[in-house]
Amino acid sequence: MQISQGQLNTLAYCPRRFQHTYLEQLSVPPNPDQQAALTLGDRFHLLMQQRELGLAIAPMQRSSQEEAQIYDAVERFLASAPEVLRRDRVQFRQSEHRRTLPLDSFLLTVVYDLLILEPDQAEILDWKIYATVPSPAILKDNWQHKLYPFVLAETSNYSPEQITLSYWFVRPHVAQTEAPPTHLKFPYNRDTHEQTRQELQQILMTLTAYLHQFETRNSLPQVAEGSDRCSHCPFAIRCQRIRSSSPTNDAVPSLDEIDEIVI
């Protein structure tokens, strides 16, 4: 079973949500705001990948305000990140670089937005299209922060002290003068590496037990009842944590009150 940082985050957040999302492969369409954010992120990553491949990223004509915003965000980011542009001393660099690591009957899988390898150091770069920049504590608690450098150290000759993880936060919805890209860089070390190994072994052991439980009971544990996580979860009704409200006959408008939709 391939395991990504997203799956580990979901498992740690709520085992039942992990069940619905990955074991039962249920999905809930994102709301318009979420979809817009996902689209912006996908476009930004695609343009950065095109640049690494040597392809032109400037369109002949910017057909919409959204397109103009994302291209301006890329240009603003490149102007603020000279180390992303440099290629001296670099022996390897690749966009969307994938690595896998077998561990305890699982295959840990990571995809780096950009990996830069030099003779004496390695840097993992990650682009994020966020409205606000999370605190370092929140970033460190995320499984992406733990898994990305761990897999690189385990699958290369670099020591943990030679590895860094850099985040670039880009906000395309505001003016350039108001929101320059924010750069957060985190060094790695042996102590953190061994701590991550222990955490991985623990959570994978838990996942193994959950998978056996799912085979026999078709059900994984839920978070404690009353948790605020349920109020933001798309599976809250399915888990019977939020009651589905059925409108009464009085609440249903008549056909005469419904505006016609022109197609």
- pLDDT for res 60: 46
The domain in which residue 141 lies consists of 2-9+28-191
Residue 4 has what pLDDT? 97
Instruction: Indicate whether 15 belongs to any domain.
Output: no
233 falls within a domain: no
Instruction: Single out the residue of 4, 10, 19, 7 nearest to residue 210, CA to CA.
Output: 19
Is 84 inside a domain boundary?
yes
Write down the pLDDT at residue 256. Answer: 41
pLDDT of residue 173: 61
| Amino acid making up residue 212 | H
**φ/ψ of residue 111, rounded to 5:** -135, 115
Residue 37: what pLDDT?
Answer: 79
Q: Quick one: DSSP state of residue 22? A: I
The per-residue DSSP string of 141-182 comes to HSHHHHHHHHHHHHTSS--GGGEEEEEEEE-TTS-TTT-PPE
**What is residue 3's predicted lDDT score, i.e. its pLDDT?**
96
Any domain includes 205: no
> Total structural domains in the chain?
1
Q: Taking the model in full, what pTM does it have?
A: 0.84
Tell me, what CATH number does 185's domain have? Answer: 3.90.320.10
pLDDT of residue 54: 82
Q: What are the residue ranges of helices labelled H in the chain?
A: 5-13, 15-18, 32-52, 65-80, 82-85, 136-141, 143-154, 190-217, 228-231
> Residue 33: inside a domain, yes or no?
yes
Note whether residue 235 is domain-resident: no
Q: What is the pLDDT of residue 161?
A: 98
Pair 84, 78: CB distance under 8 Å: yes
Q: Look at residue 112 in the predicted model and tell me its pLDDT.
A: 97
Q: Is residue 74 assigned to a domain?
A: yes
Name residue 122's beta-bridge partners. Answer: 117, 163
Give the per-residue pLDDT at 258: 36
> What is the model's pLDDT at position 246?
45
pLDDT value, residue 80: 80
In contact, 132 and 120? CB cutoff 8 Å: no
Mean pLDDT of each 10-residue bin along the chain, 263 residues long: 95 94 87 80 87 73 67 81 72 93 96 94 92 90 98 98 94 60 94 98 96 91 88 86 55 40 38
Q: State the CB neighbour count (10 A cutoff) for residue 128.
A: 20
Residue 242 neighbours by CB under 8 Å, 6+ apart: 230, 231, 236
Give the Cα separation of 257 and 3 in Å (integer): 51
Tell me, yes or no, whether 139 lies in a domain.
Answer: yes
- Residue 111: left if φ>0, alpha if ψ -120 to 50, beta else—which one? beta
Alpha-carbon distance values, 65 to 60, 62, 76, 215 (Å) = 15, 8, 16, 49
